[in-house]
Homo-oligomer: A and B are copies of this chain.
Amino acid sequence: MSAVTTSGRDQIVVALDAMGGDTAPQEQVKGALDASGPETKVLLVGDEPRVRAEVERQVGHVPPHIDFFHAPQTVSSHEAGATAVREKPDSSIAQVCRLVGQGEAHGAVSAGHTGAMLAAATLNMRRVPGVIRPAIAVVVPSARGPVVLLDAGASAEARAEYYPQFALMGRLFARDVLGIPEPTVGLLSIGEEELRGNEAVQAAHALLRDTPGFVGNVEGRDINAGLADVVVTDGFTGNVVLKALEGAASYLMTEVRAAVTRTTRARIGALLVRPALRGMRDKIDPEVYGGAYLLGVRGLCVITHGNASSEGLGNAVRLAAQGAREDLIGHFAAALGSERVPSA
């Protein structure tokens, strides 16, 4: 395959891990068929004979904007991500990242596990020039629309100097990929004035003052309230919060279901409200909203949920293509490469 560029109307190439996740390769193939077209080619990466057979089973032929890349190994969700990726260089999850790293695709999408994707991206892609630390961004639903939360787990340690870069990357992502014109940025902290946050967060606050769109500290409850379009935090806090929100959504839906089946009267009512409540979970659960985006490496990496449907996977491919088309990576480089690294 020839090298690809992101300028003009050239076709965008997205490498999709056809073997990652619980629903592979069926939903992966369906999602690829839905999202591919003259503007976006999808490269299905996995056990080629099996993936090709699935394409033919679904549509009877191989459409023009679908291609294959043979990766015979797979990484399961039970394996240790970093180890598995090192030991299986021919795994589909390692190869989608290598294809981007070598300029043969613009973006990588997998429903496999986040740790493996993070390891594969770190190993096989380069960082965008100027980026100190890649970050995992997740799109969380809120009362005022999608909110970008980062870092959701790429780095476990908090360093003040990471935050301005997280803010800039999150902002460009919100603008280029989610289409929010002038995204606001909040720093996740705690509210009581006695406890304005730990040392790293207080230092980060000082460094963020000059960041465009910075609105100051936000609290945990402000995430779902949508008080800022982009919420920056360290990878430990971000990961804990993201998973707490997922857990809350799951628990709440279980409780709602239990409540509406407790009495006959409620059960009848439940039948009537069910269509309205369908899709609620997709709306409130960050896990199924849009997946996780690894920002700061050369190419947009999207990690969707392991149970992702063809719709979710198609959407992830579209978002990766959208990022490439808007030249998100170029914008990161321009914003961060020229930036003086702030002192902590």
Contact = CB atoms under 8 A, between A and B. Distances in A.
Nearest to A262: B276
Given A156-B195, A219-B243, A251 B190 contact: no
A245 interface: yes
Interface stretch (A32-40, A102-110, A220-228, A325-333): A220-228
A197 B238 CA distance: 12
Given A197-B156, A199-B157, A143 B251 contact: yes
A250 B143 CA distance: 10
A178 interface: no
Contacts of A189: 236, 240
B259 A81 contact: no
A274 B273 CA distance: 11
Contacts of A273: 259-260, 266, 269-270, 273
Interface in A254-279: 254-256, 259-260, 262-263, 265-266, 268-277
Contacts of A199: 157
Contacts of A222: 243, 247
B81 A194 contact: yes
Contacts of A115: 192-195
Nearest to A286: B248
B240 A255 contact: no
Given A262-B276, A275-B265, A194 B247 contact: no
Contacts of A274: 269
Nearest to A195: B156
Interface in A121-176: 141-143, 153-158
Given A143-B251, A276-B266, A280-B255, A153 B243 contact: no
Q: Which of A141, A158, A266 has the most CB of B within 10 A?
A: A266
A153 B191 CA distance: 9
A246 B189 CA distance: 15
B259 A195 contact: no
A204 interface: no
Given A158-B198, A266-B276, A273-B273, 11 more contacts: A82-B194, A118-B194, A189-B236, A190-B240, A219-B240, A221-B250, A260-B273, A268-B269, A269-B269, A269-B271, A269-B272
29 contacts: A81-B192, A81-B194, A115-B195, A119-B194, A141-B251, A155-B195, A156-B190, A188-B240, A189-B236, A190-B235, A198-B234, A219-B243, A220-B241, A220-B242, A220-B247, A221-B244, A222-B247, A223-B244, A224-B247, A224-B250, A225-B247, A225-B250, A248-B284, A252-B252, A256-B280, A259-B280, A263-B275, A269-B273, A269-B274
